[in-house]
Amino acid sequence: MLKKIDASQLKVGMFIHDLSCDWMTHPFARNRFLLTTDDEIGKIRSAGIHDVVIDNTRGLDVRDAPTLAEAEACIEAELTVLAAKPVIVTRVSLGEELQRAEMIRHQATGLVRTVMQDARLGKAVELDQVAPVVQDITASILRNPGALMSLLRIKTADDYTFLHSVSVCTLLVAFCRSRGMDAAIIYEAGLGGLLHDTGKALVPDKILNKPGPLTPEEFAIIKKHPRDGYDLLVKTPGIGPIPLDITLHHHERHDGSGYPDKQGGAAISELAQMAAIVDVYDAITADRCYHKGLSAAEALRKIYEWSKFHFNRGYVQEFMRCVGIYPVGTMVMLESGRLGVVIEPHETNLLAPKVNVFFNSKSKVYIKPETVDLSRALGFGGGDKIVGHAAPAKWNVDPKKFLQIA
């Protein structure tokens, strides 16, 4: 049986099933292993991991600990309450914005690639080249945030580093906008998001693109990138304090377990805390050669769970309302057995978006695409509900083809 326990309850002889943190945080080569030394327990605690999942069929037990199912049920109950909050209405349809978003994605990715190459050669970042891209991303988010965000969820190994920066910029701009921030602040935050990983230009490719878990020594090199990025960007004429702060502190954690400065709580700026949430969300939803990305819905649930210690829970709740419990572009399974892709969030219920259905999982055949508004009753364009995320690879379908409203 799987149980959720506090890290203070760990003992040698317990079997770790899940470390309850993002894969970039912990110092172990795997998530599941038998605890054999006190040193391993010390590493878990020093990494800022406060609770873990143990398997009592493979190791020692904690008798009164809640089961994993019970712990997850509590999270689901909290998310159900959170889902009944209003979200920002889009200005144009998803279909209208997709083509423009595709062009912006391409241009922004190329720009980040150039910035990284220049940084590696010791050249300063030219803000007059970066500014128009941030402005284009912001304009797209204002028209329809789901378009660009859905396109950026697809990453390949070759362009991951560059697309991740574009994604963080896009998500952070959307997050700031949903919180009603000033346009000038949103621009500076977007600039910080686009440039936040500039320091990775100084990380050797064999480490940055390593097809497997990092050694402690390699992880120590990776952890230098926020400071390296800050040192590179501070030489850029016209760079403001917000992009510099985001670059330096996007790996800080609310409990003080992050890096490089071990800041915690209110010592971390508002925008750096927001960037930390966005950075982890995008990273854990991406497929890597050694780590299968989580679905957007699963990732949001994990971040909400981790916000007990690592993030500001209020900001996490606002981010979830910003992107939706089932973000645009997510493929979902409906109670009817139909597969569909989320095309538009509901204004007041994040669990009942509009879904474009296109596949019958029972008969395993494509069906005529149809838009289902899950907030409506049967006979009024609804009458169905989401039962979970569906993996496109499992069904060998491309949900991106069905993002257009039927």
pLDDT tens track for 44-59:
887 778 888 999 999 9
Q: How confident is the model at residue 154, as a pLDDT?
A: 74
Q: How confident is the model at residue 85, as a pLDDT?
A: 60
Q: How many CB atoms lie within 10 A of CB 307?
A: 19
For 214, half-sphere exposure in the C-beta direction (CA atoms, 13 angstrom radius) is 20
Q: Are 234 and 244 in contact (CB under 8 A)?
A: yes
Averaged pLDDT for residues 132-150 = 93
Q: How confident is the model at residue 23, as a pLDDT?
A: 63
Averaged pLDDT for residues 238-242 = 95
Averaged pLDDT for residues 361-390 = 84
Q: How confident is the model at residue 153, as a pLDDT?
A: 81
Q: Which two tokens mark 249? A: 């502190």
**Nearest Cα to Cα of residue 66 among 127, 122, 106, 9:** 9
Tell which wins on pLDDT, 20 or 64: 64
**pLDDT band at 255; cut points 50, 70, 90:** very high
Q: Tokens 């829970």 belong to which residue?
A: 313
d(CA 150, CA 154): 8
Q: Is the pLDDT of residue 344 over 90?
A: no
For 375, half-sphere exposure in the C-beta direction (CA atoms, 13 angstrom radius) is 14
Tell me which amino acid residue 334 is.
Answer: L
Averaged pLDDT for residues 146-151 = 89
Q: How confident is the model at residue 280, as a pLDDT?
A: 96
CA-derived radius of gyration, the chain:
21
> Measuring CA to CA, how many Å separate 20 from each of 24, 57, 122, 308, 328?
12, 19, 39, 11, 26
Q: Which of 66-70, 116-120, 240-244, 247-251 is least confident? A: 66-70
d(CA 56, CA 333): 32
* Strand 354-360 relative to strand 33-34, pairing: unpaired
CATH of 94-323 given 2.60.420.10, 1.10.12.10, 1.10.3210.10, 1.10.3720.10: 1.10.3210.10
Q: Which two tokens mark 304? A: 């909400």
Domain ranges of the chain: 2-66, 94-323, 331-402
Q: How confident is the model at residue 245, as a pLDDT?
A: 98
Q: How confident is the model at residue 240, as a pLDDT?
A: 95
Q: Report phi then psi at 120, rounded to 5.
A: -65, -30
pLDDT in tens, 59-102: 999 988 888 888 887 877 777 666 666 556 567 888 889 999 99
Q: How confident is the model at residue 392, as a pLDDT?
A: 85
pLDDT in tens, 181-237: 999 999 999 999 999 999 999 999 898 888 777 888 998 999 999 999 999 999 999
Tell me which amino acid residue 86 is.
Answer: P
| Environment class of 398 (CB within 10 Å of its CB; exposed 0-12, middle 13-18, buried 19+) | exposed
DSSP state of 265: G
Q: How confident is the model at residue 356, as a pLDDT?
A: 93
**pLDDT band at 406; cut points 50, 70, 90:** very low
Q: Which of 78-82, 111-115, 381-385 is least confident? A: 78-82
Mean pLDDT of the chain: 88
Stated as kind and residue range, the H or E segment containing 192 is: helix 183-195
d(CA 362, CA 264): 50
Q: Is the pLDDT of residue 145 over 60?
A: yes
* Strand 2-6 relative to strand 15-18, pairing: unpaired
d(CA 307, CA 305): 5
pLDDT in tens, 150-185: 888 877 777 888 999 999 999 999 999 999 999 999
Write the Ramachandran bin of 337: left for phi over 0, alpha for psi from -120 to 50, otherwise beta. Answer: left
